[in-house]
């Protein structure tokens, strides 16, 4: 899948969508390790931070779980019941990712409002 960097959908959302589809289609067995962040960044041709944001989305949705210094894994049947329970680090990472996206969107909105302001002409 090619990531449309200038498209209307954020690259991190596109990464999450692609990996979500793979997970739902059974590309990864329960508790199978997903490719590394670097490998995913190379595969999609995007920055590692963008991949991290996509993975944070999947973690929040309960489709994957993370093990510090080990990687990201597909949720297995024994973890599905507690998939919605995230560690404080997972929650913090998700909040940071969301905060970053909101800041970017706010800046874009400010630029668009400035361009469309007829009083600036």
State yes or no: pLDDT of 108 exceeds 60: yes
Cβ–Cβ under 8 Å, residues 72 and 55: yes
Residue 72, helix vs strand vs coil? strand
Asked if the structure places residue 92 within a domain, the reply is: yes
State yes or no: pLDDT of 79 exceeds 90: no
Number of domains in the chain: 1
Picking from 15-19, 36-40, 91-95, 112-116, which range would have the lowest pLDDT averaged per residue?
91-95
Picking from 64-73, 83-92, 98-107, which range would have the lowest pLDDT averaged per residue?
83-92
Instruction: Choose between 77 and 46: higher pLDDT.
Output: 46
Tokens at 116, concatenated: 């469309």
Q: Which residues lie below 8 Å from residue 15, measured CB to CB, with a gap of 6+?
A: 3, 40, 44, 46, 50, 51, 53, 54, 55
Asked if the structure places residue 91 within a domain, the reply is: yes
Asked if the structure places residue 35 within a domain, the reply is: yes
Picking from 61-65, 89-93, 107-111, which range would have the lowest pLDDT averaged per residue?
89-93
Residue 29's domain comprises 11-116
State yes or no: pLDDT of 56 exceeds 60: yes
Asked if the structure places residue 40 within a domain, the reply is: yes
Cβ–Cβ under 8 Å, residues 34 and 73: yes
Asked if the structure places residue 88 within a domain, the reply is: yes
Asked if the structure places residue 6 within a domain, the reply is: no
Q: Name 64's bridge partners.
A: 74
CATH code for position 93: 1.10.10.10
Asked if the structure places residue 64 within a domain, the reply is: yes
């Amino acid at each position: 899948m090619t990531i449309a960097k200038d498209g209307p959908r954020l690259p991190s959302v596109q990464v999450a969508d692609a990996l979500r589809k793979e997970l739902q289609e059974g590309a990864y067995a329960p508790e199978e390790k997903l490719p590394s962040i670097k490998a995913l960044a190379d595969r999609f041709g995007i920055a590692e931070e963008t991949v991290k944001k996509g993975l944070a989305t999947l973690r929040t949705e309960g489709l994957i779980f993370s093990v510090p210094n080990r990687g990201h894994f597909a949720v297995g049947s024994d973890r599905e019941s507690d998939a919605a329970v995230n560690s404080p680090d997972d929650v913090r990472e998700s909040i940071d990712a969301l905060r970053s996206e909101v800041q970017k969107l706010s800046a874009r909105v400010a630029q668009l409002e400035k361009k469309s302001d007829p009083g600036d002409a």
